[in-house]
């Protein structure tokens, strides 16, 4: 699915970048302020590393399958 | 199912079902602004995809078959995603909580052999004859009669299932988030109608792939954090054993799949291994994965025969992994979910919840949302909820796009307007898409008024799948099968299924005859009924075919084994070869079953 249109992987990349940025941002806020959500294992700071993972995957797919780049 | 009577008779509810965390709360979860933003962004992306794909859906081949240019990965993920709806996720997580790892049978033996068989054995025939649908294949092989019977029944059931799905989503959103039923139905149906009418099958497939990523991104954290809390798999087993020893969890083998299958009475599902292997593993699973157009349509959209064969194989690896995000959270819920007072939470059947309003009880089906609420904070919870919404919406889109293709190609074109220009059929497709959504909304409200309809619709769907399997298999692999054999096999096989279902409905004790055991339970009925109906379908097809005149071999080229020259595929390195990955999938499938034996 390249060439004639935008690849589905690009859409996925964009979505993951936005989600990753939002969740990572919240994770940083939690870490900096110490105000953690009322959930179990909040001490593991899941939003921080899960958000970073989503952002990294999003950047990979967003750049790798950006419109106009065959691959 | 353990059932309400047994729940109450065993004293289960009063003993364990005390106040839950959400006692008195109108919904399980409360979303923050961040969560709402995550959900809203999903809708924006979905509509963006629909508008983007509109310009790529101008011909009927593009609109109904996605231009047949999907790569193996996209077709494979879409193929497995079409069966990864939120109802399945929540339902099977609930079943895992209730029955243990037995629920994984529906993901492993109930899917993998059939998926691999589709890719390696059946796909060449579907692909080489260039059919656009399963009824389309029946037309080429058996003629218009069988094709029309299959098309009409499939179209009707598909659009009704879409309505059931829509209602189920609205109800889940009400329970989990407290959203109004009408709001959920209207918003989801508008979004689905927009993106499928605009982009056709390509749009549905793109959204299924998107949903696949969202489900893993939104749900994978739950088992990871659950395992950390439980102390790993061994820690989970130790805590479960301790709970059973203390009597706070019902006695049973929750972590083995086969050792309690020797007799119907030995496991809580009331199933025997023959039912699992031949009923679920063959009659139901092969029927669904190889002849249900909803899933086969995704593979037919592949860009080459090799991609079409690889797609189900790729899908099989992810299907084998799904229990990690569905079954495992259900199992972990047995040891980690707690009431507000710190005691172990005990989930119950839907009927028990309904019979005890205000008691703060939660049903088995709520185990996945409960686990999400337990571990996922702002943003992550929104992602998990978005995954559920995406699952529902792509399920609806899958049903609607399959309905549109079947109606236009197999009902409208042969029976109503035969030789119209291509753009006419695309326009009809877009209109039928909207019409399909409207009928779905009607079905959703019908289910809302009479919940019993849902059971009937689901039962209706099961009537056609297994007999169709018998007809397709014989048609594909037996040159002697005739037009009359196919028609009567399909008809009598379907009537057998309906008859057995009605018999058990009218007289529940008849289950002992259908499932050949007095200890059989509800789930066993589905398996043995499917087995009887596929056997009848094959038997009738063989007998009628032997007494009727077969078509000349020259007319069967492209549709029957032995009369079809398969295209020679270019040699590729072993790591790109479909047979290599099939072998790997078989090894993993066997290893999983042996490990959890």
d(CA B397, CA B400): 5
Number of other residues whose CB lies within 10 A of the CB of residue B66: 31
Taking a C-beta distance cutoff of 8 angstroms, is the pair B264, B83 a contact? no
List, in sequence order, every residue forming a beta bridge with B70; answer none if it has no partner.
B302
* 3-state SS, residue B302: strand
Q: How much of chain B exceeds pLDDT 90, in percent?
A: 39
Reply yes or no on whether the pLDDT at B237 is more than 60. Answer: yes
Taking a C-beta distance cutoff of 8 angstroms, is the pair B179, B29 a contact? no
List, in sequence order, every residue forming a beta bridge with B344; answer none if it has no partner.
B338
d(CA B70, CA A21): 30
From the centroid of its chain, how far is CA A26? 12
Interface contact B37, partner A, CB < 8 A: yes
- The CA distances from residue A33 to A22, A37, B30, B198, in Å, are 16, 11, 22, 46
CATH label, B3-595, candidates 1.20.1250.20, 1.20.1730.10, 1.10.260.40, 1.10.8.420:
1.20.1730.10
- Residue range B370-409, pLDDT digits in tens: 999 999 999 999 999 998 888 888 888 888 888 998 999 8
Reply yes or no on whether the pLDDT at B32 is more than 50. Answer: yes
Any idea which residue has 């919404």 for tokens?
B389
- Residue B57 has a pLDDT of 78
Residue A1's closest chain B neighbor by CA? B70
Task: List the Cα angle B428/B429/B434 in 5-degree steps.
Answer: 95
- List chain B residues with CB under 8 Å of A16: 213, 217
B450 exposed, middle or buried (CB, 10 Å; 0-12, 13-18, 19+)? exposed
* 3-state SS, residue B485: helix
Reply yes or no on whether the pLDDT at B26 is more than 90. Answer: no
Residues 6+ apart with CB under 8 A from B586: B116
Residues 6+ apart with CB under 8 A from A56: A20
Interface contact B61, partner A, CB < 8 A: no
Q: How far is B303 from chain A (nearest CA, A)?
A: 10
In b/e form, how buried is each residue of B308-342, taking b as 16+ CB within 10 angstroms?
bbbbbbbbbbbbbebbbbbbbbbbbbbbbbebeee
- Residue range B538-562, pLDDT digits in tens: 999 999 999 999 988 888 888 888 8
* 3-state SS, residue B344: strand
- Residue range B268-302, pLDDT digits in tens: 888 889 989 998 899 889 988 998 888 888 888 88
Q: Can you tell me the mean pLDDT for B203-218?
A: 90
- Residue B454 has a pLDDT of 61
pLDDT-based confidence at B480, cuts 50/70/90? Answer: very high
- Residue B458 has a pLDDT of 64
Taking a C-beta distance cutoff of 8 angstroms, is the pair B311, B553 a contact? no
The full set of domain ranges for chain B reads 3-595
Q: Can you tell me the mean pLDDT for B227-254?
A: 92
Q: Can you tell me the mean pLDDT for B293-313?
A: 89
Taking a C-beta distance cutoff of 8 angstroms, is the pair B169, B89 a contact? no
* 3-state SS, residue B338: strand
- Residue B4 has a pLDDT of 29
Helix axis angle for B86-99 and B367-375, nearest 10°, is 90
Phi-psi region of B24 (alpha: psi -120 to 50; beta: other; left: phi over 0): left
- Residue B591 has a pLDDT of 97
Dmax (CA) for chain A in angstroms is: 48
Interface contact B374, partner A, CB < 8 A: yes
Reply yes or no on whether the pLDDT at B38 is more than 60. Answer: yes
- Residue B589 has a pLDDT of 97
User: Most A CBs within 10 Å: which of B332, B375, B380, as the mutation test of the A interface?
Assistant: B380
- Residue A3 has a pLDDT of 43
Q: Can you tell me the mean pLDDT for B308-318?
A: 95
Any idea which residue has 């099968």 for tokens?
B481
E strand or H helix at B67:
none
Q: Can you tell me the mean pLDDT for A23-43?
A: 92
pLDDT-based confidence at B24, cuts 50/70/90? Answer: very low
Instruction: Kindly determine whether residue A41 and residue B383, on different chains, have CB atoms separated by under 8 Å.
Output: no
Reply yes or no on whether the pLDDT at A71 is more than 60. Answer: no
Number of other residues whose CB lies within 10 A of the CB of residue B111: 26
- Between B19 and B524, the higher pLDDT residue: B524
- What's the mean per-residue pLDDT of chain B? 86
- Residue B25 has a pLDDT of 40
- List chain B residues with CB under 8 Å of A5: 52-53, 55-56
Q: Can you tell me the mean pLDDT for B195-217?
A: 88
Report which of B86, B95, B89 is spatially closest to residue B164, judged by C-alpha positions.
B86
Reply yes or no on whether the pLDDT at B131 is more than 70. Answer: yes
- Residue range B418-441, pLDDT digits in tens: 888 988 999 999 999 999 999 988
Phi-psi region of B23 (alpha: psi -120 to 50; beta: other; left: phi over 0): beta
pLDDT-based confidence at A27, cuts 50/70/90? Answer: very high
- Residue B19 has a pLDDT of 30
- List chain B residues with CB under 8 Å of A4: 56
Reply yes or no on whether the pLDDT at B63 is more than 90. Answer: no
Any long-range contacts for A59-65 (C-beta under 8 Å, 24+ apart)?
A59/A13, A59/A17, A60/A13, A61/A9, A61/A10, A61/A12, A61/A13, A61/A16, A62/A10, A62/A13, A62/A14, A62/A16, A62/A17, A63/A13, A64/A9, A64/A13, A65/A2, A65/A7, A65/A9, A65/A10, A65/A13
Reply yes or no on whether the pLDDT at B451 is more than 70. Answer: no
Instruction: Kindly determine whether residue B377 and residue A14, on different chains, have CB atoms separated by under 8 Å.
Output: no
- Residue A29 has a pLDDT of 95
- Complex ipTM: 0.93
Of B205, B209, B229, the CB nearest to A41: B229
Q: How far is A64 from chain B (nearest CA, A)?
A: 16
Reply yes or no on whether the pLDDT at B100 is more than 60. Answer: yes
- Residue range B570-589, pLDDT digits in tens: 888 888 889 999 999 999 99
- Residue B455 has a pLDDT of 65
Backbone angles phi, psi at A48, to 5 degrees: -65, -55
The pTM score is 0.88
- The CA distances from residue B249 to B97, B246, B253, B575, B596, in Å, are 11, 8, 11, 47, 21
Residues 6+ apart with CB under 8 A from B272: B261, B262, B263, B264, B515, B517, B520, B524
The residue count of chain B comes to: 597
From the centroid of its chain, how far is CA B450? 23
Dihedral sign (CA B280, B281, B283, B284): positive
Reply yes or no on whether the pLDDT at B129 is more than 90. Answer: no
- Residue B5 has a pLDDT of 32
Instruction: Kindly determine whether residue A15 and residue B380, on different chains, have CB atoms separated by under 8 Å.
Output: no
pLDDT-based confidence at B340, cuts 50/70/90? Answer: confident
């Amino acid at each position: 699915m390249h060439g004639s249109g935008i690849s589905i992987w690009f859409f996925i990349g964009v979505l993951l970048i936005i989600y990753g940025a939002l969740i990572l941002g919240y994770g940083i806020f939690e870490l900096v302020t110490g105000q953690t959500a009322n959930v179990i294992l909040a001490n593991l700071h899941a939003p921080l590393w899960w958000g970073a993972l989503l952002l990294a995957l999003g950047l990979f797919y967003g750049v790798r399958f950006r419109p106009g780049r065959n691959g | 199912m353990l059932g309400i009577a047994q729940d109450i008779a065993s004293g289960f509810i009063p003993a364990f079902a005390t106040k839950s965390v959400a006692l008195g709360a109108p919904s399980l979860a409360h979303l923050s602004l961040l969560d709402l933003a995550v959900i809203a962004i999903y809708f924006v992306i979905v509509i963006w995809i629909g508008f983007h794909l509109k310009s790529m859906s101008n011909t009927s081949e593009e609109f109904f078959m996605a231009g047949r240019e999907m790569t193996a990965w996209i077709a494979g993920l879409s193929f497995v995603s079409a069966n990864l709806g939120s109802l399945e996720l929540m339902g099977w997580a609930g079943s895992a909580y209730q029955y243990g790892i037995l629920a994984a049978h529906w993901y492993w033996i109930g899917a993998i052999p059939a998926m691999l068989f589709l890719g390696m054995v059946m796909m060449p025939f579907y692909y080489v004859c260039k059919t656009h649908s399963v009824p389309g294949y029946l037309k080429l092989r058996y003629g218009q009669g069988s094709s029309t019977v299959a098309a009409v029944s499939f179209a009707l059931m598909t659009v009704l299932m879409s309505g059931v799905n829509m209602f189920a989503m609205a109800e889940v959103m009400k329970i989990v988030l407290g959203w109004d039923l009408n709001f959920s139905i209207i918003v989801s149906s508008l979004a689905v109608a927009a993106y499928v009418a605009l982009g056709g099958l390509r749009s549905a497939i793109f959204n299924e792939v998107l949903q696949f990523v969202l489900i893993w991104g939104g749900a994978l954290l739950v088992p990871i954090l659950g395992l950390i809390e439980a102390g790993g798999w061994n820690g989970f087993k130790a805590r479960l054993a301790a709970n059973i020893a203390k009597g706070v969890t019902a006695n049973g083998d929750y972590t083995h799949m086969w050792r309690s299958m020797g007799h119907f009475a030995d496991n809580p599902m009331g199933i025997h291994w023959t039912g699992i292997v031949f009923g679920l593993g063959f009659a139901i699973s092969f029927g669904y994965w190889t002849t249900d157009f909803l899933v086969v349509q995704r593979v037919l959209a592949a860009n080459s025969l090799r991609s079409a064969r690889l797609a189900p194989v790729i899908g099989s690896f992810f299907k084998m992994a799904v229990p990690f995000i569905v079954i495992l959270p259900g199992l972990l819920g047995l040891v980690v979910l707690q009431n507000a007072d710190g005691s172990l939470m005990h989930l119950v059947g839907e009927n028990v919840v309904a019979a005890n309003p205000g008691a703060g009880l939660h049903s088995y089906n709520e185990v996945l949302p409960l686990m999400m609420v337990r571990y996922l904070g702002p943003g992550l919870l929104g992602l998990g909820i978005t995954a559920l919404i995406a699952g529902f919406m792509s399920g609806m889109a899958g049903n609607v796009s399959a309905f549109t293709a079947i109606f236009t190609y197999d009902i409208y074109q042969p029976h109503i307007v035969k030789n119209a220009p291509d753009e006419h059929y695309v326009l009809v497709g877009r209109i039928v898409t909207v019409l399909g959504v409207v009928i779905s909304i009607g079905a959703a409200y019908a289910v809302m008024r009479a919940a019993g309809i849902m059971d009937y619709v689901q039962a209706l769907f099961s009537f056609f799948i297994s007999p169709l399997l018998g007809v397709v298999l014989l048609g594909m692999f037996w040159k002697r099968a005739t037009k009359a054999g196919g028609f009567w096999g399909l008809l009598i096989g379907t009537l057998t299924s309906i008859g057995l279902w009605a018999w058990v409905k009218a007289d529940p004790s008849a289950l002992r005859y259908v499932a050949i055991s007095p200890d059989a339970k509800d789930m066993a009925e589905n398996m043995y009924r499917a087995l009887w109906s596929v056997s009848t379908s094959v038997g009738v097809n063989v007998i009628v075919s032997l007494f009727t005149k077969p078509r000349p071999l020259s007319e069967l080229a492209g549709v029957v084994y032995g009369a079809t020259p398969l295209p020679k595929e270019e040699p590729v390195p072993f790591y790109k070869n479909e047979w290599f990955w099939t072998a790997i999938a078989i090894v993993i499938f066997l290893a999983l079953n042996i490990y959890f034996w």
